[in-house]
Amino acid sequence: MHVRALSYLKTVCSSIVNFSTSPAASFSSTALKMSNIKTIVISGPSGAGKSTLLHLLMKDYPTSFAFSVSHTTRKPRPGEVDGKDYHFVTHKEFEEMIQKKKFLENAMFSGNYYGTSKAAVEEIQKTGRICILDVEINGVKSIKTTGLNAKYIFVQPPSIEALEKRLRDRKTETEESLQKRLDTANEALDYSKQPSVYDHIIVNDKCDEAYQKLKEVVQEDIEKLK
């Protein structure tokens, strides 16, 4: 996802009400599957600290990483630019892309579609950078069916109690929305325990230590760009 759109879309993804059940695209012999540059798929509960870690990574390696530009059917907000903040398309166009299996993952929120296309990831790879996809649990499940050449990273809070405290300290949640986030977090934590789901799990207790671990995890990928 594009870096300027990351914060909003993370909120969108964590509040998804209807994840697409259409079969995701398969990569039998595409550039994405064959590329030597792995896409970084990073996931974790809201409040686990993904945004902070990714912000640090982008700051330290601005020429190595990039977020893809997502597609959406919602109307542009003031100042948003088509092709930069999002690819703005109609419902009909989006649904045609779903039928043609052009998305790695897609979802509907509040009546509008959002999705990450194969082409958007390919565009990042063409620039010689590593594409980062910040997705929730359903996005991970969908992408895993595609055969995308990716490295899967899960950012985990030190405990569900610590996560709850972080969310409460934000003072942005109602009790209802907080409980939904905690339910989603528990689901994500359970999924992360399944064998071979994630290549790396980073426990974000202390930010500096978690960031050091993230850098170690992606160092091999950065070296391949040289």
- The pLDDT value recorded for residue 9 is 40
Q: Is there a domain that residue 26 lies in?
A: no
Q: Is there a domain that residue 160 lies in?
A: yes
Within its chain, how far is the Cα of 162 from the centroid? 22
Is 170 among the residues known to form the active site? Answer: yes
Tell me if the pTM is above 0.75.
yes
Q: Is there a domain that residue 3 lies in?
A: no
φ, ψ for residue 17, nearest 5 deg = -110, -15
φ, ψ for residue 113, nearest 5 deg = -85, 150
CATH code assigned at 64: 3.40.50.300
Whether 6 has a pLDDT exceeding 50, the answer reads: no
Most confident region among 74-78, 94-98, 176-180 by mean pLDDT: 94-98
Domain that holds residue 88: 39-224
Q: Is there a domain that residue 1 lies in?
A: no
Dihedral of CA atoms 200, 54, 109, 144 in degrees, nearest 10, equals -30
Whether 28 has a pLDDT exceeding 50, the answer reads: no
Per the residue annotation, which of 74, 129, 168, 170 is the catalytic one? Answer: 170
Q: Is there a domain that residue 5 lies in?
A: no
Q: Is there a domain that residue 43 lies in?
A: yes
Whether 18 has a pLDDT exceeding 80, the answer reads: no
Whether 65 has a pLDDT exceeding 80, the answer reads: yes
**Packed helices 207-223 and 50-60: angle between N→C axes, nearest 10 degrees:** 50
Q: What confidence category does residue 60 fall into, taking pLDDT thresholds of 50, 70 and 90?
A: very high
Q: What confidence category does residue 136 fall into, taking pLDDT thresholds of 50, 70 and 90?
A: confident
Whether 132 has a pLDDT exceeding 70, the answer reads: yes
Could you read off the pLDDT of 42-56 as tens digits, one per residue? 999 989 999 899 999
Per the residue annotation, which of 4, 74, 77, 166 is the catalytic one? Answer: 77
d(CA 213, CA 200): 10
Within its chain, how far is the Cα of 56 from the centroid? 16
Pairing of strands 112-117, 130-134: unpaired
Q: Is there a domain that residue 9 lies in?
A: no
Q: Is there a domain that residue 44 lies in?
A: yes
Tell me how many domains the chain contains. Answer: 1
d(CA 155, CA 76): 31
More confident residue, 15 or 37: 37
Helix locations, the chain, DSSP H:
6-14, 31-34, 50-60, 91-99, 118-126, 137-144, 160-170, 175-192, 207-223
Could you read off the pLDDT of 138-166 as tens digits, one per residue? 889 999 999 899 999 999 999 999 999 99
φ, ψ for residue 162, nearest 5 deg = -65, -40
Is 168 among the residues known to form the active site? Answer: no
